[in-house]
Structure 1
Amino acid sequence: MGVRYDGPMVRNPLTPEEHERGERLGQLLRDARGARSMVSVAAEAGVSAETLRKIETGRAPTPALFTVAALASVLGLSLDEIVLRCELVPV
């Protein structure tokens, strides 16, 4: 028997700590990108410039792991560094 779909999935609202973590991730990526254009970094990582813009501005505070990994690779960041710099801290 298949899975029944009864409408859109509802996502729990993000906590203030999760929003803060998203802002730290965005700042980290902006700093690592430096003078490189958003369009060129996004293209090299295989994501849209709009996705990168949303992450950098904190409007996408919980991007997919594969997106973060691709951006980290292009920007010369390790995932360990990202985790350490963006871990949840009480706000």
Structure 2
Amino acid sequence: MGGMVRTPLTPEERERGERLGLLLREARGGRSMAQVAAEAGVSAETLRKIETGRAPTPAFFTVAALAAVLGLSMDELAAMCVPVAA
């Protein structure tokens, strides 16, 4: 019984995940992770993983919901999180 094999993240994906996490953390400000997660309809665990860069490729729906709650535009997030061209 093998689990799902996760492909290792590329450095770009990891960096993008860290930038996304930082942006969300800053936007959250003084609100608790649990509060923001509940408002966005995601688990606090999911939000924690995204904020710490451990879920660098979260579902679009998840990011969109968090962006809405935090007052971030998807354009801003996309600009932050596009892979940087070498």
Tell whether the structures are fold-level matches, with TM greater than 0.5.
yes
Identity of aligned residues (%): 78
Rg bigger for which structure? 1
Aligned residue number for residue 75 of structure 1: 70
Amino acid of the structure 2 residue aligned with 1:12: T
Aligned residue number for residue 26 of structure 1: 21
Q: Which runs of 4+ in 1 moved over 2 A?
A: 7-13
Structure-2 separation of matches of 1:68 and 1:74:
10
CA RMSD of aligned residues (A): 1.6
1:13 offset after TM fit, Å? 2.2
C-alpha distance after superposition, 1:62-84 (max 9, x if no partner): 10000000000000011111000
Correspondence 1:50 to 2:45: yes
Structure-1 separation of matches of 2:4 and 2:35:
34
Q: TM-score, normalised by structure 1?
A: 0.85
Aligned residue number for residue 9 of structure 2: 14
C-alpha distance after superposition, 1:37-86 (max 9, x if no partner): 00000000000001000000001111000000000000001111100011
Aligned residues: 85
User: Secondary structure, in 3 states, of the residue corresponding to 2:30?
Assistant: coil
User: Secondary structure, in 3 states, of the residue corresponding to 2:69?
Assistant: helix
Task: Answer whether contact 1:17 1:90 (CA < 8 A) is retained.
Answer: no
Gaps of 5+ in 1: 1-6
